[in-house]
A and B are shown apart, each in its own frame.
Chain A
Amino acid sequence: MSTVNAALPGVFYRRPAPDQEPFVEVGAMVQEGQTIALIEVMKTFSEVKAEQAGTLGRFLLDEGDEVEAGQGVAEVVAP
């Protein structure tokens, strides 16, 4: 299992926009480099990407939570 960490501080979102579906649901397969969330800071949105392929085990944060740089945001279970 690997933890995906935030590269920068900000506010955590699982959706590309408030009225859209989440990038990925828990239990779904993700590819290496796939966008799984966004972090908003300084009026910019940075993509959070899976560092390895696998199943998205769980998110460690809820929509709209504040996140610190280096904090784990999701767990990916190797296939």
Chain B
Amino acid sequence: MSEVIVRSGGLYTTVQDAGRDGWYAIGMPPSGALDQYSFRVANLLVGNPEGAAALEATYIGPELEFTDERRIAVTGADAPARVNGEPVPLWEAIAVRAGDVLSFEMLTAGARPYVAVSGGIAVPEYLGSRSTYTLTGIGGFHGRALRADDRLPLGSPPVSGPSPGTSVPAGLRPALGGPAQLRLVVGLCSYRLTETAMESFVDTEWKVTKDADRVGYRLRGGTIDFVDREPPFGAGSDPANVVDLGYPIGSVQVPGGDEPIVLLGDAVTGGGYATVGTVISVDRDRIAQARTGDRVAFTSVDVDAAIAARRDRGIRLEKVRAAVS
């Protein structure tokens, strides 16, 4: 069987796909590639279905040896990549043969490179998805991040697809420089904030702390004041506590009032912290590429703007599909 041999797993590389949607009600978060745009583009470049399972690395890329002829593509973070020690372009279809080794140098921008391989990573599906959810050890490759000497099964390569050398036009690659600008739909529990607190929340330039992973990003840089109240039955005594609710994916909670946490694909699905707003789905792609130490800023938008942004991302993906086919 055709495989990819993992020579080094990097810091935290997992198998991810479009996500394990549909199980939120039983407390199962969707997981999936955090930067869905880069992930999907990587698949388009190698002729895979857009949602085929690929690899998501974090900060330090893996080292991978191929065992047959495949096409691969690296997208997402600016991660200088090499095949057999020779630099290869990002956002481009690359042909590899048995024995070729893909490796990475230090990332120059962004946090998460994606590696798609033609045929996709053929680990077994769990609840309809190949995404890894490491907190409970399910999905992906044995429910965990990759390690040296792992052997990843590959699916049959597609019969057609972009030729090697096909690349994504610069205008269709995400911009990674500067502070990450995140659009936020205010709610569900923003009533807990004082009038000035939401203004101060969006006026603050927050900094990503070291506690920033697939579960969530903890930020620092300001304080949020909550309205004084008598805690309702079932809520805790922290001013940030409310009666338990389901957390929207991308929602922002502010335990203690000074460290907002943006919940991402591997986050707990509900709890008792006031969610002051929700980062729109398109901009979760952007926060996925923010690193510890990077700045992030929020702007308030309405649901119509969030849906329009999602439609625009779909149009951009169609443009990529047209540009590479």
Contact of A42 with B by CB under 8 A: yes
Query: Quick check: B106 and A7 within 8 Å, CB to CB?
Result: yes
Contact of A41 with B by CB under 8 A: yes
Chain A CB within 10 A, most for which of B106, B108, B211, B293: B293
Q: Which of B12, B108, B292 is close to A9, meaning CB atoms less than 8 Å apart?
A: B292
Give a binary string over A34-72; 1 marks a CB under 8 Å from any B CB, 0 the rest: 000000111110100000000000000000001111100
Chain B CB within 10 A, most for which of A5, A42, A44, A70: A42
Contact of B197 with A by CB under 8 A: no
Using A8-B59, A9-B292, A68-B293 as known contacts, say yes or no to A44 and B107 having CB atoms under 8 A apart: no
Contact of B283 with A by CB under 8 A: no
Give chain B interface residues in 256-302, CB to chain A under 8 Å.
291-293
Query: Quick check: A8 and B293 within 8 Å, CB to CB?
Result: no
- Minimum CB–CB distance for B61 against chain A, Å: 10
Q: Which residue on chain B has the smallest CB distance to residue A9? A: B292
- Minimum CB–CB distance for B213 against chain A, Å: 4
Q: Which residue on chain A has the smallest CB distance to residue B107? A: A69
Cα(A46)–Cα(B210), bound, Å: 13
Cα(A43)–Cα(B11), bound, Å: 11
- Minimum CB–CB distance for B272 against chain A, Å: 23
- Minimum CB–CB distance for B153 against chain A, Å: 26
Cα(A6)–Cα(B291), bound, Å: 14
Query: Quick check: B293 and A42 within 8 Å, CB to CB?
Result: no
Cα(A35)–Cα(B107), bound, Å: 21
Cα(A8)–Cα(B107), bound, Å: 8
Question: Which 4 A-B pairs give the minimum distances between C-beta atoms?
Answer: A8-B59, A9-B292, A42-B213, A9-B293
Q: A7-B60, A9-B291, A41-B210 are in contact. List 11 more A-B contacts (CB 8 A).
A: A5-B106, A9-B210, A10-B210, A41-B11, A42-B11, A42-B212, A43-B211, A44-B11, A46-B60, A69-B59, A70-B106
Q: What are 16 A-B residue pairs whose CB atoms fall within 8 Å in the complex?
A: A5-B106, A8-B11, A9-B210, A9-B291, A9-B292, A9-B293, A41-B11, A41-B210, A41-B212, A42-B210, A42-B211, A46-B60, A66-B292, A66-B293, A68-B293, A69-B291
